[in-house]
Amino acid sequence: MPGWLPGAVLGGAALASGLLAGLLWGFACAVVPGMRRAGPDASVAVFRGVNAVIVRPVFLLALLGAPLLAGVGLVLVVADARAAVPCAAAGLAGLLATLAITVAVNVPINERLARAALGTAGARAAAWALVDGPWHRANRVRTATATAGAVLLLVATQVAA
C-alpha cells in the first residue's frame, strides 16, 4: 500500500466531515435563528422546502461518505500507521454520532413536519416549535460531533504521515 494512502483517505473523510459540520453550523447559527424572526408561517413553509431538496447526492456524499471514508481510513491506519488509530477511531465515532442523531432525531422531525396538517395558525406554530425546539437542539449537538470528527481526522492525517 502506498504510504500516502491512509492520510489521503483520512483527509477526504475530514474534508467531508468539515463540509457537513459547516452546513449544520449554518443552520444552527443563521438559518433557524433567521427563520425564528420570520415567524411560524413563513418558517414552516421554508423548512419544508429545504427538507424537500436537501436529500441529494452532494449532501449524502458528506453525511454518509464521511463516516465511510473514516472507516476505511481507520482500517488503513491499523495496518500501516498504528499511532493514528486513536484519533481516527475517535473521528469515526464523532461521525457515527452525527449520523445517529440525524437518523434518530432530525429525520423523524422532518418527516413529522412534512406530514403535519397546517391549516391553522396554531398548527403552524406547533410545527415550528418542533423545529425550533428539539430539532434545533439536536442539530447543535450533531454540529459539535461533526466538527469534532473533522478535527480528529485532521489530527489523524498528521499522525499517519
Looking at residues 98-125, what average pLDDT do you find? 95
Alpha-carbon span 107 to 105, nearest angstrom: 6
Q: What is the pTM of this model?
A: 0.93
The DSSP symbol for 120 reads S
Grid coordinates of 139: 442539530
Q: Is the pLDDT of residue 38 over 90?
A: yes
Q: Is the pLDDT of residue 79 over 90?
A: no
Q: Which of 84, 93, 65, 58 is nearest to 6 (CA)?
A: 84
Of the pLDDT bands very low, low, confident and very high (cuts 50, 70, 90), residue 4 is: confident
pLDDT at 34: 94
The DSSP symbol for 82 reads G
Grid coordinates of 91: 473521528
Of the pLDDT bands very low, low, confident and very high (cuts 50, 70, 90), residue 1 is: confident
Burial (CB count within 10 angstroms: exposed 0-12, middle 13-18, buried 19+), residue 53: exposed
The DSSP symbol for 56 reads S
pLDDT at 150: 98
Alpha-carbon span 85 to 76, nearest angstrom: 9
